[in-house]
Amino acid sequence: MPITELTMHEGVDIPSIRKTLDFPKDWDQYSLTVFMDNLERSTVATFANMRSIVQPILEVDEALVVQAPAIFSYPQKHEQASSMLFMRMFSVQRAAARLLFAGQQYEARAVLRSALECGVYGCLLTSDSELLDVWRQRDDNDFTRKAARKAFQWGSLMTALRKQSPSIETKIDALYDELIDLGAHPNPGGIVDGMFADVDADGNKMLMTLFGGGTPESIVRGLRELLSVTHAGFELIRLAMPERLMKNGVAQQVEATFAAAGYP
């Protein structure tokens, strides 16, 4: 049976879920696939044991990501590229959530950085037709590729965003730097996080690292980073397309969720 046609039925216990999957017979014979199983258990444990910080993540996802087709439906010409970028931002945020629930904080930060970039691009392309043309023509030839690289340097993007909202620019630039320090780039602060020294049977030191799980404190920190990036993305959409977030009370619902989680 193809692996894409795995069936589910009641049976074996997985924390907080009862299910059995018809896995390939040798699934548990490799360290990588066993590792994936352990990450699944960590994901469920985070959902169950850290509900106070997980809950706003779930509620914002329901209000924004699930309703994305309605929010961005029938875009005007100048909104088309931005709508695609904002929807991609949502999918990247979900990918980061999958990593963070499993305790993969370092790995998630590069993904969170991508989500921020998608949001910033989406916001600026809505109002800057020249920048939009540069983005659309990026892959035409070597000249347009170089022009796009220059136009989309982070400092230039922050200068443009600052003109629209100094407060949002300050918040996003600081968050971006934090992600780069702790994982989006292989800088010392991120690389050493989760590493520790162990001793073998002969008393020799071994350098070890956590590939998933992490301490409760590190998982909480990662989840808060996810909330911060999600909140920044929400503010970018509200800056670029305020009327679209007013549909069906989405803006008010999201604002209330973030306020309850301590995000003004």
Output the CA–CA distances (angstroms, integers) from residue 148 to 86, 143, 175, in the order listed. Answer: 19, 9, 23
Both tokens assigned to 13: 């216990």
Q: Taking the domains of the chain in order of start, what are their residue ranges?
A: 1-49, 51-260
Q: Are 59 and 235 in contact (CB under 8 A)?
A: no
Digit-coded pLDDT (tens) for 176-228: 999 999 888 888 877 777 665 677 777 776 655 666 667 788 889 999 999 99
| CA-atom Rg of the chain in angstroms | 21
Q: Of the candidates 96, 101, 115, which has an alpha carbon nearest to the alpha carbon of residue 54?
A: 101
Among 78, 158, 77, CA closest to 117: 158
User: What are the tens digits of pLDDT across the range 45-98?
Assistant: 899 899 999 999 999 999 999 999 999 999 999 999 999 999 999 999 999 999
Burial of 245 (0-12, 13-18, 19+ CB in 10 A): buried
Angle 105-127/129-136 helices, nearest 10 degrees? 120
Treating both helix axes as pointing N-terminal to C-terminal, what angle do 154-164 and 105-127 enclose, rounded to 10 degrees?
60
* Residue 21 DSSP symbol: E
148 has pLDDT over 80: yes
Cα distances from 207 to residues 47, 94, 194, 199, in angstroms, run: 30, 32, 11, 9
- CA dist., res. 234 & res. 214, Å (int): 28
Alpha helices in the chain (DSSP H): 31-49, 51-60, 68-71, 80-101, 105-127, 129-136, 142-151, 154-164, 166-179, 188-191, 216-240, 242-245, 250-260
- Mean pLDDT over 7-15 rounds to 39
pLDDT surpasses 80 at 2: no
